[in-house]
């Protein structure tokens, strides 16, 4: 690994670990020039020559050479005097193996008794490894670690600082390779733990020891974490260092450097995989320590910090410390400079209106309420004076870090010291936030939710505002610290949707206490308010990017459908000013935020209104501008059209270029395309006129498009907009299609991929409109003629080329997904050659070696097999079946999973054709092909669960589809038995519940085939036994529902077998009905009504098919306690008392029982009439007659009860 100390080389930032940047100690780089303008010994070639010459001389030396000490001194001085820094001299070409050879040989020449030479050698190790970024081989690493470790044991204490610095450079990122030395380095009474202890008086030794320990635990991605025992030891050392007070008579700068080293070590420990905190208050103690250090040296912060933070839904507030009498605040300054900054006084708002004149931009951005907060932001960020001191004039909105030196309140010497101290304090705050970020990523989010109130405020009533992450975001003078706080806040918000889903404030709480849901909603509103203020105050582009990204995380996770409207509108309008920002990263983040806005809980009424009327309903004021002018004014405005410009943009440009303030009637505004759609199309297709400094100078030639990241993000926003708000985007269907076609015709694969994805979203939106269950009026749908025209143009354009672009399999994969999003009704109206092209391409791509492409092609065939115009084509069905069978044997589980899904769809098509076309289709389909499908589905039922779930679905359909002539053939006998036993085995297995209920449904589907020999087959007994067992014992109610519905499928009494089996089915259903509310899982309880519905329907079905020999068992059951419970549930079923959503679901699961109460009673009356006509014969006649009387009486009483009002 590259050898660095971590602290002196912050620019490296290896392994995703945020590097700290403290000032390096004097010995870290002796004789090395630190700037390009300083003196230098020569050109990079001279440095290489010097190294080569000195290295050769050094290798020629032997331990018994005369004048060894003098020669080593001279060579070390020459090597140390040269600058090898690749940051300044990237062309230096010194081989790492030469450096390793030199250091190994030098360590053999320098005895530990020559302490001055030992120091120079250690300085040389640090100098070469740090500047040349050398990756040490294992042998060199072992030699150097042993040498430095021995030096720590042997040499005098005054050498240990340089030795530890060299050791920290050697072990940087090499912790896992040094595991054999860790027992010596981290021994309880060893040098590292001794020097890093808070009791160590030498702060420099303490700092270097902590740095060395941190570098040991620095983990490069891909490396295994170190043993937990070593991590725990060092973790306690780092934490104890952070929690210990500053020793008396210790320089504040040195103390800050020690704290930085401990913070870096703590960060490395937390970043080395998931961290398990000890019991008790360890996590709360770490959080409290980091929160205190987050405000280290922050101007005006003087509070008593808690030692531990406790998880609680209510926020904790820091207590104010007693003011120091030595520096009492002046009376005139009391309202402005309180102990806790940011506290708005009662008359601040009135004063702010008369102070100074703001620019027009500031006046347009904020309102009076925001002015107060901006004053507080500025007051905190000044940080130029001592705590408690401030100028008597009004707070300035001009950022403190932009003032010139004439604003300083100190002399040059004092000012330099204060500036350096502020710099070090800022690095401590930055390091604490980096640790907090590592903790947020390394600890389970559910554990951290209880601590949210300590880091995110919920607008408490009264008292000083709490010190939270938002305090830093708004008021810290360092943009890097503000950016770190925003990263931590983003990490907290990321993935918090389930936690924030509880938030609700649609109605104010009327209780004596504030509900947790209302507090959480208030926290969301406070986040919106604070981040909006940060947008107004922020000037650093990198930090501004983090603000917008943080807002995107908030928008993506907050439940706006449960909050009062009005949060998104100000944000939407505020972001429009940043669309034209000169920094490309800011523009990209703005588009990311807009993507989150149109994605969250789409379609959201507030966002829908903003898309139609982005200016808030068309009201205008002085200085306002139209949406198009706001977004496009920074682009071309001279009326010149680019050939690639789409019609929608040309029309909007022509209508707004010369009269930007024109007002539209409501009808005209509704007919206009959404402003965001126009913006994204323009960003993708139109050239830009302005460039940021980071984008380089213009080419001076033709028009240059937006940078690729901006165009990609704009395409993603278009996709989100089409997915969530298709009804607003459908007016521009052809124009968006042209944008996609243009993207597919470009050479950038990323642009091509996003263009294909946009086409897929358009196709999916059209399909959703035409689905019957969505109840979209025909007048609101895209006309069928337009859909056909759209796909005709797409399929005759560059999509065909993308499908055949073998150099980019990912593009082919996305193009396959696009083909599968064609509306079935439109596909049938496409030209025959176009249909044939789609089918031929998909069939060919299933034999590609790329598993992702093969998966997409197989899935697309599974979609096409459901098309009405294709499913009756026997040749297409056969070709698709053979392709799917080949894919089921693929080595990729993803391909097999999609192949099983497609096979399930294909067998669904067989059932539909059997019912619509009839025997003709069954006879045309090859028996051999059906046999192969049955055997392949049986094999797939033993695969992974995601393959198995659709394989059992296909088995049920195939068993339903087989004809009598096929079932009697000997070739089908064994596969038939294997298929049923595979279903039975799946039902009884420990597979996922989805697989088990699919297997139950498949067995019920097979029972619908009248040709199956249920009454005589040996496997029939196992099938009924498995269903009876599951319906009474399975913990999952949906599995019980499917099994009960399957038991009610056989249409004839003979299918249930003998009396014993029939009685077993009856008692299983009755027992399941009695226990239908017994569950320990509350989530299952919601299905109990559906379960009772299905069980009741199944019991009545058994009564309707029962014969005389069944009467004794039925009569005994209905006459006993079991009959009382059955009667109560049947009454509810017949009266439809458990209706609604659950009842509807139960009817659906019961196999299509959608009868109303009158129809159910009518069927019961038919059952009663039939049973009255049943005659008993033989010696058992009397017992059967008595049982029949009980059953008839039970049904008559049931009918009488149901007919009563």
Q: What is the pLDDT of residue 382?
A: 44
Q: Which of 821, 823, 826, 819 is nearest to 804 (CA)?
A: 819
Give CA–CA dist 91/84, Å, rounded: 10
Structure tokens at 393: 């004039």
Q: What is the pLDDT of residue 399?
A: 36
User: Residue 133 — pLDDT band, cuts 50, 70, 90?
Assistant: confident
Give CA–CA dist 194/229, Å, rounded: 18
Terminal Cα distance for the chain, rounded: 85
* Backbone phi and psi for residue 658, each to the nearest 5 degrees, phi listed first: -95, -15
Q: What is the pLDDT of residue 591?
A: 96
Which of the residue ranges 296-310, 321-335, 516-530, 883-897 would you say has the lowest mean pLDDT?
A: 321-335
**Does residue 320 sit in helix, strand or coil?**
strand
Q: What percentage of the chain exceeds 90 in pLDDT?
A: 44
> How many other CB atoms are there within 10 angstroms of residue 946's CB atom?
18
Q: Which of 50, 52, 106 is nearest to 83 (CA)?
A: 50
Cα angle: 480, vertex 486, 491; to 5 degrees: 130
Give CA–CA dist 369/477, Å, rounded: 22
* CB-neighbour burial class of residue 1159 (10 A; exposed 0-12, middle 13-18, buried 19+): exposed
Kindly report, residue by residue over 354-406, the tens digit of the pLDDT: 334 333 333 333 333 344 444 444 444 444 333 333 333 333 333 333 333 33
Dihedral over alpha carbons 762, 767, 770, 776 (to 10 degrees): -60
Sorted by sequence, the CB contacts under 8 Å of residue 156 that are 6+ apart come out as: 115
Longest CA pairwise span in the chain (Å): 126
Q: How many CA atoms lie within 13 A of 1202 on its CB side?
A: 25
Dihedral over alpha carbons 147, 149, 154, 156 (to 10 degrees): 110
> How many other CB atoms are there within 10 angstroms of residue 89's CB atom?
18
Give CA–CA dist 334/354, Å, rounded: 20
Q: Name the DSSP letter for residue 865.
A: T
Q: Which of 987, 940, 984, 929 is nearest to 962 (CA)?
A: 929
Give the helix, strand, coil percentages of the chain, each rounded to 5: 65, 0, 35
- Looking at every residue in the chain, the average pLDDT score rounds to 80
Helix then strand count (H, E) for the chain reads 58, 4
474 or 638, which is more confident? 474
Kindly report, residue by residue over 425-466, the tens digit of the pLDDT: 999 999 999 999 999 988 888 888 888 988 998 765 555 778
Q: Is the pLDDT of residue 75 over 50?
A: yes
User: Residue 1077 — pLDDT band, cuts 50, 70, 90?
Assistant: confident
Structural contact between residues 1069 and 1044, judged by C-beta atoms closer than 8 angstroms:
yes
Which residue is associated with the tokens 């204490």?
A: 157
pTM, two decimal places: 0.79
Q: What is the pLDDT of residue 45?
A: 61
Give CA–CA dist 254/206, Å, rounded: 10
> How many other CB atoms are there within 10 angstroms of residue 1157's CB atom?
14
Cα angle: 581, vertex 583, 586; to 5 degrees: 75
Query: What average pLDDT does range 217-225 have in this prediction?
Result: 78
Give CA–CA dist 624/1015, Å, rounded: 82
Q: What is the pLDDT of residue 59?
A: 84
Q: What is the pLDDT of residue 125?
A: 93
Q: Is the pLDDT of residue 698 over 90?
A: no
Q: What is the pLDDT of residue 279?
A: 62
Burial letters for 977-1005: b for 16+ Cβ neighbours within 10 Å, e otherwise? ebbbbbbbebbeeebeeebbbbbbbbbbb
User: Residue 250 — pLDDT band, cuts 50, 70, 90?
Assistant: confident
Q: What is the pLDDT of residue 689?
A: 64
* Backbone phi and psi for residue 884, each to the nearest 5 degrees, phi listed first: -65, -40
Kindly report, residue by residue over 522-557, the tens digit of the pLDDT: 899 999 999 999 999 998 999 999 999 999 999 999
Kindly report, residue by residue over 1003-1025, the tens digit of the pLDDT: 999 999 999 989 888 899 999 99
Burial letters for 1085-1114: b for 16+ Cβ neighbours within 10 Å, e otherwise? eebbbbbbbbbbbbbbbbbbbbebbbbbbb
Query: What average pLDDT does range 893-905 have in this prediction?
Result: 96
Give CA–CA dist 6/10, Å, rounded: 6
User: Residue 635 — pLDDT band, cuts 50, 70, 90?
Assistant: very low
| Beta-strand relationship, 319-320 and 704-705 | unpaired
Give CA–CA dist 1116/1106, Å, rounded: 14
Give CA–CA dist 522/517, Å, rounded: 9
**Does residue 112 sit in helix, strand or coil?**
coil
């Amino acid at each position: 690994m590259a050898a660095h100390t971590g602290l002196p080389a912050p620019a490296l930032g290896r392994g995703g670990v945020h590097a700290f940047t403290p000032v390096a100690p004097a010995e870290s780089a002796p004789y090395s020039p630190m700037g390009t303008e300083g003196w230098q010994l020569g050109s990079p070639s001279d440095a290489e020559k010097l190294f080569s010459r000195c290295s050769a001389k050094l290798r020629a030396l032997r331990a018994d050479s005369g004048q060894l000490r003098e020669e080593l001194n001279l060579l070390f001085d020459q090597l140390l005097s040269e600058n090898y820094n690749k940051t300044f001299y990237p062309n230096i070409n010194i081989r790492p193996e030469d450096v390793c050879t030199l250091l190994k040989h030098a360590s053999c020449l320098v005895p530990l008794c020559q302490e001055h030479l030992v120091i120079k050698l250690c300085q040389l190790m640090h100098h070469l490894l740090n500047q040349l970024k050398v990756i040490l081989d294992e042998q060199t690493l072992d030699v150097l670690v042993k040498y430095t470790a021995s030096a720590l044991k042997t040499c005098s204490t005054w050498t240990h600082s340089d030795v530890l610095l060299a050791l920290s450079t050697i072990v940087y990122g090499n912790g896992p390779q040094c595991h054999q030395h860790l027992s010596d380095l981290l021994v309880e009474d060893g040098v590292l733990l001794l020097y890093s202890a808070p009791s160590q008086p030498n702060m420099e030794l303490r700092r270097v020891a902590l740095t060395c320990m941190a570098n040991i635990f620095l983990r490069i991605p891909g490396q295994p974490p170190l043993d937990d025992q070593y991590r725990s030891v060092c973790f306690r050392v780092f934490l104890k260092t952070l929690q210990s007070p500053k020793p008396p008579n210790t320089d504040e700068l040195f103390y800050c450097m020690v704290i930085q080293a401990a913070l870096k070590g703590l960060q490395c420990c937390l970043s080395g995989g998931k961290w398990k905190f000890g019991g008790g208050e360890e996590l709360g103690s770490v959080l409290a320590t980091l929160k205190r250090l987050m405000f280290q040296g922050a101007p005006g912060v003087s509070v008593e910090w808690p030692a531990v933070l406790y998880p609680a839904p209510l926020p904790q507030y820091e207590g104010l410390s007693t003011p120091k009498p030595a520096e009492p605040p002046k009376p005139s300054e009391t309202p402005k400079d309180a102990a806790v900054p940011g506290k708005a006084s009662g008359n601040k708002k009135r004063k702010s209106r008369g102070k100074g004149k703001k620019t027009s931009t500031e006046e347009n951005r904020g309102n009076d309420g925001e002015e107060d907060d901006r004053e507080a932001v500025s007051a905190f960020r000044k940080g130029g004076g001592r705590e408690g001191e401030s100028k008597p004039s009004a707070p300035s909105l001009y950022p403190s870090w932009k003032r010139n030196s004439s604003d300083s309140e100190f002399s040059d010497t004092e000012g330099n010291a204060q500036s350096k101290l502020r710099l070090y304090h800022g690095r401590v705050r930055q390091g604490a936030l980096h640790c907090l970020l590592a903790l947020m990523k390394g600890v389970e989010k559910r554990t951290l939710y209880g601590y949210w109130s300590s880091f995110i405020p919920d607008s408490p009533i009264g008292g000083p505002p709490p010190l939270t992450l938002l305090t830093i975001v708004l008021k810290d003078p360092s943009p890097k610290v503000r950016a770190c706080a925003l990263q931590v806040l983003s990490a907290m918000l990321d993935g918090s949707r389930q936690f924030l889903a509880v938030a609700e404030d649609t109605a104010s709480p009327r209780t004596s206490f504030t509900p947790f849901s209302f507090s959480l909603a208030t926290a969301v509103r406070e986040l919106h308010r604070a981040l909006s203020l940060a947008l107004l105050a922020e000037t650093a582009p990198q930090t501004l990017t983090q603000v917008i990204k943080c807002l995107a995380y908030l928008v993506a996770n907050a439940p706006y459908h449960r909050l009062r409207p009005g949060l998104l509108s100000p944000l939407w309008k505020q972001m429009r000013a940043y669309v034209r920002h000169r920094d490309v990263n800011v523009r990209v983040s703005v588009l990311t935020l807009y993507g989150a806005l149109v994605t969250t809980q789409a379609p959201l009424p507030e966002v829908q209104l903003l898309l139609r009327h982005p200016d808030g309903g068309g009201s205008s004021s002085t200085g306002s501008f139209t949406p198009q002018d706001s977004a496009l004014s920074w682009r071309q405005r001279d009326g010149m059209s680019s050939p690639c410009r789409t019609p929608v943009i040309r029309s909007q440009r022509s209508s707004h270029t010369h009269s930007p303030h024109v007002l539209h009637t409501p009808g005209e505004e509704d007919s206009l395309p959404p402003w965001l759609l126009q913006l994204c199309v323009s960003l993708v297709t139109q050239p830009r006129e302005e460039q940021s400094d980071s984008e380089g100078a213009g080419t001076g030639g033709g028009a240059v498009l937006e940078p690729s990241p901006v165009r990609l993000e704009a395409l993603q926003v278009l996709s989100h907009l089409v997915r969530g708000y298709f009804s607003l985007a459908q007016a521009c269907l052809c124009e968006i299609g042209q944008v996609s076609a243009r993207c597919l015709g470009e050479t950038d694969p990323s642009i091509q991929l996003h263009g294909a994805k946009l086409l897929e979203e358009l196709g999916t939106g059209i399909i959703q409109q035409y689905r019957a269950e969505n109840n979209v009026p025909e007048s609101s749908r895209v006309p069928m003629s337009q859909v056909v025209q759209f796909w005709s143009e797409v399929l005759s354009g560059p999509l065909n080329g993308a499908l055949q672009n073998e150099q980019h399999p990912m593009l082919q994969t996305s193009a396959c997904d696009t083909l599968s999003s064609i509306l079935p009704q439109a596909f049938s109206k496409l030209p025959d050659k176009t249909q044939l092209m789609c089918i031929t391409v998909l069939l060919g791509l299933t034999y590609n070696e790329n598993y992702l492409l093969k998966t997409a092609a197989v899935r697309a065939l599974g979609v096409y097999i459901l098309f009405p115009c294709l499913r009756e084509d026997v040749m297409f069905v056969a070709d698709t079946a053979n392709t799917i069978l080949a894919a089921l044997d693929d080595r990729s589980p993803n391909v097999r999973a999609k192949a099983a899904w497609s096979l399930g769809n294909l067998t669904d098509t067989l059932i539909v054709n059997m019912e619509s076309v009839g025997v003709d289709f069954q006879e045309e389909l090859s028996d051999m092909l059906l046999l192969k499908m049955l055997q392949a589905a049986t094999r797939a039922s033993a695969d992974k669960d995601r393959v198995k779930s659709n394989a059992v679905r296909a088995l049920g359909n195939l068993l339903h589809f087989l004809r009598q002539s096929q079932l009697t053939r000997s070739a089908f006998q064994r596969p038939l038995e294997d298929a049923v036993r595979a279903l039975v085995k799946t039902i009884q297995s420990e597979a996922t519940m989805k697989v088990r209920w699919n297997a139950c449904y498949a067995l019920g589907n097979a029972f619908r085939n009248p040709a199956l020999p249920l009454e005589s087959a040996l496997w029939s007994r196992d099938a009924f036994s498995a269903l009876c067992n599951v319906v009474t014992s399975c913990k999952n109610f949906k599995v019980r529902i499917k099994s009960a519905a399957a038991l009610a499928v056989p249409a004839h009494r003979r299918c249930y077998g003998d009396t014993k089996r029939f009685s077993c089915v009856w008692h299983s259903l009755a027992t399941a009905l009695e226990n239908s509310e017994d569950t320990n899982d509350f989530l299952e309880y919601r299905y109990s009504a559906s379960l009772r519905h299905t069980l009741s329907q199944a019991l009545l079905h058994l009564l309707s098919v029962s014969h005389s020999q069944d009467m004794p068992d039925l009569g005994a059951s209905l006459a006993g306690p079991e009959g009382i419970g059955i009667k109560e549930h049947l009454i509810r079923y017949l009266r439809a008392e458990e209706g609604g959503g659950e009842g509807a679901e139960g009817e659906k699961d019961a196999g299509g029982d959608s009868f109303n109460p009158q129809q159910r009673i009518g069927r019961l009356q038919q059952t009663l009439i039939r049973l009255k006509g049943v005659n008993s014969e033989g010696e058992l006649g009397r017992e059967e007659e008595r049982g029949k009387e009980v059953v008839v009486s039970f049904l008559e009483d049931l009918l009488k009860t149901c007919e009563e009002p």
